[in-house]
Amino acid sequence: MTRGVRVAALAVIALAGCPLGTDPAPVAVIVAAPDTLVQRDYWATVVTLDGRGSRDPISRDGAAGALRFEWLFDDPGVRFEAGTLPTDPLVRVRFEGTSPPGVTLRVRTTDGRAAESFVRLALTLR
């Protein structure tokens, strides 16, 4: 009987991350390269923001294929490189560099589950 109680307790711990009866949220992942800009860069440096590591934990392959992406920036002067859209999993952008830019990636599954991740790029002096 003790053994059954332990198993039930482990099951509750495993489900603590999501409400019973709901699917877990996707995972939003941002990789920025470079992750530091020179202050007052004035759009000279191209920053690659990669969200392809994002995933849906309940998809068959666990990959980001069925996710929809949305990149948001707290820098109003952000510029996208040609051929890059704010709904692509990988974007190439430039920043003015007058303040450390913040980047948010929102991912959403086709059934409406969503998650977001945030990163703030650092600024260095010349």
Do 32 and 47 meet the contact criterion of CB atoms below 8 Å apart?
A: yes
Question: Tokens 């510029």 correspond to what residue?
Answer: 79
**Cis-peptide, bond into residue 34, ω within 30° of zero:** yes
Which residue ranges make up each domain of the chain? 23-124
Do 30 and 50 meet the contact criterion of CB atoms below 8 Å apart?
A: yes
Query: What pLDDT, on the 0 to 100 scale, is given for residue 125?
Result: 82
Considering the chain, what is the average pLDDT of its residues?
Answer: 82
CATH class of 23-124: mainly beta
The first and second tokens of residue 76, run together, are: 């109003």
- Tens digit of each residue's pLDDT (9 = 90 or more) over 2-34: 333 222 222 233 333 455 457 899 999 999 999
Per 3-state DSSP, the chain is made up of helix, strand and coil in percentages (nearest 5) of: 10, 35, 55
Distance CA 103, CA 11 (A): 36
